[in-house]
Amino acid sequence: MLSSAGDAQSMAGFVVFFAALLAFVPFLAAAAAPCHPDDLLSLREFAGNLTSGGGGDAIRAAWLGEACCGWDGVSCDAATGRVTALRLPNRGLAGPIPPPASIPLAALQDLDLSHNALTGPISAALLLAGAGISLRTANLSSNLLSGPLPNLAALPRLAAFNASNNSLSGALSPDLCAAAPALRVLDLSSNLLAGALPSSPPPPSCAAALQELYLGSNSFHGALPASLFSLAALTKLSLASNGFSGQVTSRLRDLKNLTFLDLSVNRFSGHLPDVFAQLTGIQHLTAHSNFFSGLLPRSLSSLSSLRELNLRNNSFSGPIARVNFSGMPFLVSIDLATNHLNGSLPTSLADCGQLKSLSLAKNSLTGQLPEDYARLGSLSVLSLSNNSMHNVSGALNVLSACNNLTTLILTMNFVGEDLPDDDGIAGFDNLEVLAFGDCSLRGRVPEWLRRCKKLEVLDLSWNQLVGTIPEWIGELGNLTYLDLSNNTLVGQIPKSLTQLKSLVTARRSSGMAFNNMPLYVKHNRSTSGRQYNQLSNFPPSLFLNDNGLNGTIWPEFGNLKELHVLDLSNNAISGSIPDSLSRMENLEVLDLSFNNLSGSIPSSLTHLTFLSKFSVAHNHLVGPIPNGGQFFTFANSSFEDNPGLCRSSSSCDLNQTGETPAGNEVQRSGRNRKNKILGVAICIGLVLVVLLAVILVNISKREVSIIDDEEVDGPCHDSCDYWKPVLFFQDSAKELTVSDLIKSTNNFDQANIIGCGGFGLVYKAYLPDGTKAAVKRLSGDCGQMEREFRAEVEALSQAQHKNLVSLRGYCRYGNDRLLIYSYMENNSLDYWLHERADGGYMLKWESRLKIAQGSARGLAYLHKDCEPNIIHRDVKSSNILLNENFEAHLADFGLARLIQPYDTHVTTDLVGTLGYIPPEYSQSVIATPKGDVYSFGVVLLELLTGRRPVDVLKAKGSRDLVSWVLQMKSEKKEEQVFDTLIWSKTHEKQLFSVLETACRCISTDPRQRPSIEQVVAWLDSV
């Protein structure tokens, strides 16, 4: 019996082997078939045209002999020996496609040359198939092919054509679809195609055939034509990231077979048509970042197959409950954030058993969290920030049942309620992010949080919490971001915070799901406003500022080597600054201002090479300010109101010799009397001067400049300035008083703040004539600020260039100086690259290159053409502003210093911004044009990589952008530095060319750097 069983097993194995052999025989026969001589010649010519090196040499080495049917990537028909398939994707092939006179592969059915670096017109690639009678699929995506779209009339059997991610140009031909009646899939995304879509209706054969159409990431514009909705067989339609506008009409209902619809990042407006009852097969509906308005269509309730709904960043209004989600069992993700939706949360969402992500932030929602939401067992991310929800206890009790919840953002809700301490709240075992910021919640830091062992981010800022910081917070081993700022906490900082494991040793990769969603709102201290951020943008931080904490700074804080931000400002902390803080090697921000600290500033803090913000202002510190490292970059305001501090040891010694405190007091008293007498005399003189000036004005009727040469103090100063005219450079006919200007900013309302520059904020102003302007308000009466104002006014009044932010006018109001600039509609380059969630996606390579070219021209004008020449000294992405056409304008000359045409440097006491500072500035306080070139090189790297100059979230070896790029370049890994959102074979040559220019700019030797004029020439030749 055993023998029989063994024989049976052997027989079964033989049958399986024989069946497999029979199945493989046709392939063996095809490989062994003789190669048709015409095809052999065509393939050899194709290989011969490939550029030497890389994939081309490999193909030529593999394609030897005459049995081409066995060659790599080649398949043949066994009976005829004709080549039927040529599949060489991702082989590193480069070079032109053979010319049209070449012998074609007449029987070719399947052509795949995707993800290579082939050049030339795309029509030449299709000529490989000759008459194209047999060609069924052609994948030429991700190459460097150019020119207009080919004529598909010679390809009657073509079913799938993918030419995405190339450099195709021109418009879509009206007969494109008619020429290929069998076409099922057409992918032309990520090219340079432009114009409006054809308005002529497609032939019936085409309308019945085309199933997938991808036109995203081009430059199409205009309204969607009715002809588009005649393509009744469409199942997938992507029009994302173009310039389409107008309304989406109810003709959308004609596309009854749609499963995928992407209209995102366009300029569509009006109502989203209520036609989804006829589109019940849709699984993915994305229309974010448009101008849609009105109510949510009720017919969305009919989308029983829906998996993703993203209508974020529009102007939809009304209640979400208009949509019944009960019939959407497969729904995984909903994003309706940043709209004008109101009302309560719909209970029907509780029926979406597979829902993982729900973002409803930045709306006007009210009411309580429905109890039925406890049934959302798959929910991982919930963001309700910036709404008006109430009953925080009820919300926590409901959500504690959601066992898979990892991210909970409830910022700016539940205003004034009591935060439950430990009222039976359990669950939250998997919680990684919890944000209750800016809720004005009362109570203590809740005890139930100690059970959230996976917590990485905890934000309880801007509340009314009392008591002490509990010791158990130090037991949260994964905690990397703690914000308890702006509360009423007291007592000593618990020593356990210095033992947080994730801040002592390198943190693991975050497990936070959906951590790129723009769902986290925080106070922006620099603007007194609020801003949205991605969770992934938050560095390891401890914010304990603006409380009533006392005690001393633990020396053990030095153990937190992974900490990037430590803010202890505005407390009552005393004692000295521990020397051990110098061991916090990743520290970027250290703010100890407004405390009761004494002693000296440890000189070892100069070893903190990443430190970009430092303040010990308003303490009782003494001794010299450390000299070296990043301390060269810190303004005097970082050290103010510490009477015992001095800039050097020698000046400290000078202040201490030969004088007692009493003697000093007497001397100061005498000086004060003299100063008062001198002040009275000056005031009398100034009054006489003002009276004389008024008389002269009345006589000559000439305009008087608002800029006074002297400081004028007195009770009438503000009111005197209030009615003075604003001086405009380019429009002498414009009449505007200081009063008008202040009203145009709504009396400098924080809602109008659009930026923060050196020494002041920038406000959006709506001028009486209907135009917009940007008003930079320089506040204070210190001499350094006054010099900045004078330098900026004098420089910008003469610096006029299309790539500079033009200074339109200026005036003075009390101790404030107001500079009026042209308003830039599209914010800064920094905003698009690093702050806006979809900014990098929307900023295509063509736009980035144009920004690089424009800003280089602006800088070249400052260096050579402007008289006198100007060194900018703070070139960075946040100082490159973009107008409505995304044209670059170099901004913020607040740090500029004028130099004469033949001077080569200028001395100063403040140098640039961390990450952009040339290495030679650490050895000297001399700024040169080559320093600007270095900073501009860093900006080029930002454009190429999409990364910040100093990325605190990266591993130590790749945190500094310049060092990382140079390291990758030395390892021949340049291709890996490029932003994946812009990388393509289409742009490869341009990307490498700009990278080479950037690397020349960031040379450590200033003498080896090019002039900015050379940089302009190189960029213009790309």
Shared domain for 858 and 724, answered yes or no, is no
Q: Per-residue confidence at 742, pLDDT binned at 50, 70, 90?
A: confident
Nearest to 174 by CA among 204, 214, 201: 201
Shared domain for 807 and 863, answered yes or no, is no
Confidence (pLDDT) at 624: 94
Q: Which residue has the higher pLDDT, 776 or 439?
A: 439
What phi, psi does 225 have (nearest 5°)?
-75, 155
Confidence (pLDDT) at 15: 41
With beta carbons less than 8 A apart as the criterion, state whether 414 and 439 touch: yes
Does 776 carry a binding-site annotation? yes
Confidence (pLDDT) at 19: 44
Q: What's the token pair of residue 564?
A: 């990037």
Shared domain for 860 and 771, answered yes or no, is no
Nearest to 109 by CA among 37, 30, 198: 30
Q: Which of 100-114, 288-302, 949-963 has the lowest mean pLDDT?
A: 949-963
Residue range 870-896: mean pLDDT, rounded? 82
Strands of the sheet with 644-646, listed across from one edge: 574-575, 596-599, 620-624, 644-646
- Per-residue pLDDT of 570-592, as tens digits, reads 999 999 999 999 999 889 889 99
Q: Which residue has the higher pLDDT, 921 or 114?
A: 114
Confidence (pLDDT) at 484: 97
With beta carbons less than 8 A apart as the criterion, state whether 455 and 480 touch: no
Q: For residue 897, is it within any domain? A: yes
Q: Report the range out of 92-96, 130-134, 845-849 with the highest average pLDDT.
A: 845-849
- Per-residue pLDDT of 247-285, as tens digits, reads 999 999 999 999 999 999 899 999 999 999 999 999 999
Q: For residue 710, is it within any domain? A: yes
Confidence (pLDDT) at 912: 61
Residue range 719-738: mean pLDDT, rounded? 54
Cα gap 237→256, rounded to integer Å: 12
Phi-psi region of 892 (alpha: psi -120 to 50; beta: other; left: phi over 0): left
Residue range 891-919: mean pLDDT, rounded? 54
**3-state helix, strand and coil shares in percent for the chain, rounded to the nearest 5:** 35, 20, 45
> Distance between alpha carbon 795 and the CA centroid of its chain, in Å?
31
Shared domain for 580 and 638, answered yes or no, is yes
| Amino acid (1-letter code) at residue 662 | A
What phi, psi does 473 have (nearest 5°)?
-60, -35
**In the listed set 599, 626, 656, which residue is the last one of a domain according to the structure?**
656
- Per-residue pLDDT of 630-681, as tens digits, reads 787 787 889 999 999 997 666 665 555 433 333 333 233 333 434 444 454 5
Q: For residue 645, is it within any domain? A: yes
Confidence (pLDDT) at 793: 67
- Per-residue pLDDT of 469-479, as tens digits, reads 999 999 999 99
Confidence (pLDDT) at 796: 61
Q: Which of 239-243, 408-412, 607-611 has the lowest mean pLDDT?
A: 607-611
The domain total for the chain is 3
Shared domain for 648 and 745, answered yes or no, is no
Confidence (pLDDT) at 938: 96
Q: How many angstroms separate the Cα of 39 from the Cα of each of 75, 80, 128, 348, 683?
A: 11, 11, 10, 63, 98
Residue range 342-354: mean pLDDT, rounded? 96
CATH code: domain of residue 880:
1.10.510.10
Mean pLDDT, all residues of the chain? 81
With beta carbons less than 8 A apart as the criterion, state whether 447 and 425 touch: no
Q: For residue 407, is it within any domain? A: no
Shared domain for 786 and 807, answered yes or no, is yes
Shared domain for 804 and 941, answered yes or no, is no
**In the listed set 805, 822, 839, which residue is the last one of a domain according to the structure?**
822
Shared domain for 811 and 905, answered yes or no, is no
Q: Which of 153-167, 701-715, 840-854 has the lowest mean pLDDT?
A: 701-715
**In the listed set 822, 837, 864, which residue is the last one of a domain according to the structure?**
822
Sign of the CA dihedral running 958, 876, 813, 617: positive
Confidence (pLDDT) at 908: 39
CATH code: domain of residue 651:
3.80.10.10
Q: For residue 868, is it within any domain? A: yes
Q: Which residue has the higher pLDDT, 463 or 904?
A: 463
Q: For residue 586, is it within any domain? A: yes
Task: State yes or no: pLDDT of 14 exceeds 80.
Answer: no
Residue range 108-131: mean pLDDT, rounded? 82
Residue range 330-357: mean pLDDT, rounded? 96
Q: Which residues constitute the domain of residue 990?
A: 829-1020
Task: State yes or no: pLDDT of 707 exceeds 80.
Answer: no
Cα gap 636→788, rounded to integer Å: 14
Task: State yes or no: pLDDT of 356 exceeds 70.
Answer: yes
Task: State yes or no: pLDDT of 181 exceeds 90.
Answer: no
Confidence (pLDDT) at 380: 96
Q: Name the strand (E) or helix (H) holding 145.
A: strand 144-147
Q: Which residue has the higher pLDDT, 92 or 509?
A: 92
Q: How many angstroms separate the Cα of 2 from the Cα of each of 6, 11, 103, 441?
A: 6, 14, 64, 79
Shared domain for 766 and 884, answered yes or no, is no
Cα gap 177→184, rounded to integer Å: 10
Residue range 882-908: mean pLDDT, rounded? 60
Shared domain for 772 and 649, answered yes or no, is no
Task: State yes or no: pLDDT of 416 exceeds 90.
Answer: yes
User: Which residue matches tokens 């500022």?
Assistant: 545
Q: Which residue has the higher pLDDT, 234 or 780?
A: 234
Confidence (pLDDT) at 25: 39
Cα gap 433→975, rounded to integer Å: 34
Q: Per-residue confidence at 537, pLDDT binned at 50, 70, 90?
A: low
Q: Per-residue confidence at 239, pLDDT binned at 50, 70, 90?
A: very high
> Distance between alpha carbon 896 and the CA centroid of its chain, in Å?
27
Neighbours of 513 (CB within 10 A): 16
Question: Annotated catalytic sites, by residue?
Answer: 874
Q: Report the range out of 169-178, 337-346, 611-620, 723-732 with the highest average pLDDT.
A: 337-346
Q: Name the strand (E) or helix (H) holding 661.
A: helix 661-700
Nearest to 712 by CA among 728, 700, 724: 724
Confidence (pLDDT) at 692: 53
Task: State yes or no: pLDDT of 733 exceeds 50.
Answer: no
- Per-residue pLDDT of 282-311, as tens digits, reads 999 999 989 999 999 999 999 999 999 999
Q: For residue 986, is it within any domain? A: yes
- Per-residue pLDDT of 390-403, as tens digits, reads 999 999 999 999 99
Q: Which residue has the higher pLDDT, 750 or 908?
A: 750
Shared domain for 583 and 651, answered yes or no, is yes
Residue range 740-760: mean pLDDT, rounded? 75
- Per-residue pLDDT of 375-395, as tens digits, reads 999 999 999 999 999 999 999
Q: How would DSSP label each residue in 755-769?
A: EEETTEEEEEEE-TT
Task: State yes or no: pLDDT of 688 exceeds 60.
Answer: no
DSSP for residue 868: S
Q: For residue 766, is it within any domain? A: yes
Shared domain for 791 and 879, answered yes or no, is no
CATH code: domain of residue 766:
3.30.200.20
- Per-residue pLDDT of 26-73, as tens digits, reads 444 444 467 889 899 889 988 888 887 668 888 988 998 889 999 999
